[in-house]
Amino acid sequence: MQFITIANEGVKALSPYQAGKPIEELERELGIRNIVKLASNENPFGFPPSAKRAIENRLDDLTRYPDANGFELKATIAKKFALQANQITLGNGSNELIELFAHTFADSDDEIIYSQYAFIVYPLITKAINAVAREIPAKNWGHDLAGFLAAINDNTKLIYIANPNNPTGNFLTQAEISEFLARVPERVIVVLDEAYTEFTAPEERVDSFALVKQYPNLIVSRSLSKAYGLAGLRIGYAVSHPEIADLLNRVRQPFNCNALAQVAAIAVLNDDGFVQKAAQNNRTEMQRYEDFCRRHQLTYIPSKGNFITLDFKRPAAPIYEALLREGVIVRPIAGYGMPNHLRVSIGLPQENDKFFTALLKVLNQR
């Protein structure tokens, strides 16, 4: 039987999400060791020791279901950011939350707005629920908020904005976002996806939780996969008006956040030193990447995330493949409509050195 014939129309048009190549896969394919992975914007300092201790203390209790409502984790988030627990929704990574927002507020024939060159999950979930995608052409590789406003109509239900944006690293200021929200009808839900916010400088960071108080149609989504180093545990959270959080929690699957993820998240949210170390390394090494690009006449998109996107002005797939043979994994982003670009995560100094050496070798051979 051709089961695709009975799938919903949106799913028929989808292609599976392509994650960054795992180190183990490259080892199997080419027999290479000492591989550097700079493909998935992971924390280069590894798993936080504070989270590891918290997990070890919980191992004997895994025959019990996790707290379905995440009471302690919500309390930790609320205390850290001066929020109320009833504003918080927990997710199996912020990726699940992005999907949850669409399932809660949009249906077939409703319209969802997002930017060209934005996180690929936005169009994936839009198509999966048979909603109408309104992809707004990018402005300097980033969000054209004026274009977003012009696209809003009676059928618009949801707007996704990643800040900093993935995969380009573009950044919108507090003033730009606030001015935008002031012009969006209250019936339209705006999602501010802040998976990389911890890598922005404190003085430029958007006070998004204050904006939630001012604009009740705003949802802020955050991840513990990047700066907090918990990518393998899948944990994230959203902050919104309590009425929105109540709706989200009606749709959210029970036990969506496992017990180990919850205790690890509590530990690392109280571990400011770990996050600050990651952010400082990112600032220092980002400067090295920019200097490297200028020195070797490479074009890049200025980034506020923990990655930088390079424009090779020609198809980047052969460069990506050649880097794999040098034991360096980066991220091709042709699937984002950027076939000439590679996205490179900012690693530790020695990892970045290996990338610089490998890239120069590859370019000099071409």
What is the separation, in whole angstroms, between the first and last Cα of the chain? 48
Position 87, amino acid: Q
pLDDT band at 152 (very low <50, low <70, confident <90, very high): very high
Tens-place pLDDT, residues 29-56: 778 888 999 999 999 999 999 999 999 9
Q: Rounded to whole angstroms, how far apart are CA atoms 238 and 251?
A: 14
Asked whether the predicted pLDDT for residue 18 surpasses 90, the reply is: no
Task: Write the pLDDT tens digit of every residue in 219-233.
Answer: 999 999 999 999 999
Starting at the edge strand that comes first in sequence, how are the strands of the sheet with 341-345 ordered? Answer: 299-301, 307-311, 341-345, 331-332
- Cβ-count burial 62-98 (b if 16+ within 10 Å, e if not): eeeebbeebeebbebbbeebebebebbbbbbbbbbbb
pLDDT digits (tens, 9 = 90+) for 154-207: 999 999 999 999 999 999 999 999 999 999 999 999 999 999 999 999 999 999
Which among 202, 275, 272, 197 is positioned nearest to 239, based on CA atoms?
197
Per-residue pLDDT reduced to its tens digit, 124-151:
999 999 999 999 999 999 999 999 999 9
Q: Residues 268, 228: contact at Cβ < 8 Å? A: yes
Q: What is the pLDDT of residue 19?
A: 67
The count of C-alpha atoms lying within 13 angstroms of the C-alpha of 308, restricted to the half-sphere facing its C-beta, is 23
190 forms beta bridges with 159, 218
pLDDT for residue 313: 97
Q: DSSP string spanning 254-306?
A: TT-S-HHHHHHHHHHHT-HHHHHHHHHHHHHHHHHHHHHHHHTT-EEE--SSS
Is the pLDDT reported for residue 20 higher than 80?
no
CA 67 to chain centre: 25
8-17, 200-209, 266-275, 345-354: the lowest-pLDDT one: 8-17
So what's the pLDDT on residue 4? 59
311 pLDDT higher than 90:
yes
Q: CA 101, 103, 107, 108: dihedral to nearest 10 degrees?
A: 110
pLDDT of residue 33: 84
pLDDT attached to residue 9:
66
